[in-house]
Structure 1
Amino acid sequence: MAIKTKPLNKIQATIGLSLLLFAIMVGVAVFSDDGVMTVFNFNDDLEKLKQGNASLVQENKGLQKEIEALKKDPLAVERVAREKLNLVRPGETVYRIVPHPDKP
């Protein structure tokens, strides 16, 4: 028993071909290198960059305050010289406490 099929008319063939091409276009749009999935990945990267920028803005504000303090406040200059450069005033004696090594 052979199954008889009707040949497709022009409208049905055109609709079928159109649906096939549409499905291919959607697949390419979603899964290609420049597709929708890539856009979602770019959005994630954008959020990470925005967070990084926000932290850098805060760091820059802190550094700007430190710069202003160093320009105007001599005590701030002295603090930086003592803490970061290990400088002392003339005539000061520096005492260093060295922990005693534990004896076995």
Structure 2
Amino acid sequence: MTARRKLLMVSVGVAGALSLLSVADAKGFRRYLALRQDVDALQVRNQSLAQQNEALRQEINALRKDPAALERAVREELGYVKPGELVFHLESP
């Protein structure tokens, strides 16, 4: 066996051992996969929060510019009633 072939075999053996160690080690490949899943989950949550932010921005603009939207918000969220209006509270069983 030539020296070059021996060096190749040793290199392959060391690479294989390091690969197994990486898979078996809690801080190795398994940790990478777990962190990758966390990153993916955070990206999905980020998108959801960005959509909520955009919806809130649109609502803010509507409340600033549209009197009907402002009246609707005041009535729904604060329970305001115009003078002379009757309010009926219906409860479901």
Structure 1 stretches lacking a partner, 5+ long = 1-10
Identical pairs, percent = 34
Equivalents in 2 of 1:80, 1:72: separation in Å? 13
Pick from 21, 33, 37 the counterpart of residue 28 of structure 1. Answer: 21
Length-normalised TM-score, structure 1: 0.65
Aligned-partner residue type, residue 38 of structure 1: R
Which deviations, in whole Å up to 9, do the C-alpha atoms of 1:17-71 show, x marking residues without a partner?
Answer: x57x825433332222320111111111111111111111111110000000011
Separation (CA, whole Å) in 2 of partners of 1:97 and 1:32 = 61
Higher-Rg structure is 1
Root mean square deviation of aligned Cα: 2.5
Q: How many equivalent residue pairs?
A: 85
> What residue is the counterpart of 2:49 in the other structure?
56
Deviant stretches of 4+, over 4 Å: none
**Which one of the candidate residues 73, 79, 84 is aligned to 2:72?**
79
Between 1:84-93 and 1:68-77, the stretch displaced more is: 84-93
Higher relative contact order (CA 8 A, sep 6+): 2
The verdict on how the C-alpha distance between 1:33 and 1:97 changes in structure 2, with shifts beyond 3 A counting, is closer
TM-score scaled by structure 2?
0.72
Q: Which runs of 5+ in 2 are unaligned?
A: none
The 1-side partners of 2:44 and 2:90 are apart by: 43
